[in-house]
Amino acid sequence: MSWTRRGEGASPPEQALEAILARIPGWADAPLRYRPVSGGISNTNWRVQAGSGAGDEAGADVFLKVPGRGTEMFITRAAAHEASRRAEACGFGVAVLDYLPEDGVEIFAFLESFRASSNLDFLRPGVRHNAVRALRAFNDSPALTLTKTIFDMIEEHVRQVDTVGGRVPQDTAFLMRRYGEAKAALLASGLDLVPCMNDTLAGNFMLDAADQVRLVDFEYASNNERAYELALWFDEMAFPADVEREMIEAYWGRWDVGVAARTQVLKALGDLKWATWAMIQDSVSTLDFDYYKYGTWKLSRARTLFHHPDWPRWLRLL
């Protein structure tokens, strides 16, 4: 993909980026060039290089994301920045170079030797186990300022769908009844609140040639139920049952029927959360992404677990 020099941006996203670049200390008059980075479904992502004018020596590249329209409805940028710093301190994040609170923009070192992973990468046991170690390190770090549980997220999104006039499924009453059952059972069992990414899709795990893992994108991070982190990851990876068991053992040090049941219940809630989020984005986002299709797929998976014959047993095992 070709570079665009500052001052040559023509599209609205490019012009928005250039306005932000002009406000970065030390970059007001520096020669810069940039190009988009694919993969985001909430923001526009950019690779920026300083010192790219005639006769200038190119500097180190940085990664910068511009918040997408409507993301302030569910992202607290200061909290995301705190979580990014925490991940860096854990040894599994990326160096945070700067933060522009007025724009909600974080600037990171660009990981030259790393690439975004795909679901296929997690077919390799080494990648899976390295990812579990990274997640566990972040989960075991000191508490974040923001606590936002999976219940908070779902209930917030339900209100927001109503506010923006988003589409709702015909079986909403059933879905929310199952949600209520899960919430009551999980709260009765007690929550283990720890720092969680809350967004464990494959693209948020960066890999190098040795399969070392770095975690990126902490926009949705908060203190949340510990078991939700793996549950959501299992949702995203679509692991078969034997791999889920392997990863539970790797994370917890043993396989436990109660943890396994908790994971299944939280997988359903994770899909319900992101399906509801997608209906909000379907109404407000300007990005070229089929949020409705994404949300429909998530709802289908949630229904599979909500209708599962073991649902009552899982709730009892919590």
List the chain pLDDT tens, one digit each, 318 residues: 789 999 888 898 899 999 999 888 888 778 899 999 987 777 889 999 986 544 444 567 999 988 887 778 878 999 999 999 999 999 999 999 999 999 899 999 999 899 999 999 999 999 999 999 999 999 999 999 999 999 999 999 999 999 999 999 999 999 999 999 999 999 999 999 999 999 999 999 999 999 999 999 999 999 999 999 999 999 999 999 999 999 999 999 999 999 999 999 999 999 999 999 999 999 999 888 999 999 999 999 999 999 999 999 999 999
Q: Which residue has the tokens 């209906």?
A: 279
pTM of the model: 0.92
Spell out the residues 6+ positions from residue 182 whose beta carbon is closer than 8 angstroms to its own.
265, 268, 269, 315
Contact 305, 268 (CB under 8 A): yes
Alpha helical stretches, state H, 43-149: 77-90, 125-139
Domains detected in the chain: 4-109 (3.30.200.20), 116-317 (3.90.1200.10)
Q: How far apart, in whole angstroms, are the C-alpha atoms of residue 138 and residue 187?
A: 23
Q: In what order do the strands lie in the sheet with 96-100?
A: 4-5, 32-37, 44-50, 61-66, 105-109, 96-100
How would you label 118-152 residue by residue, b for 16+ Cβ within 10 Å and e otherwise?
eeebbeeeebbbbbbebbbbbbebeebebebbbbe
| Pair of tokens at residue 236 | 């995203």
Q: How far apart, in whole angstroms, are the C-alpha atoms of residue 41 and residue 162?
A: 22
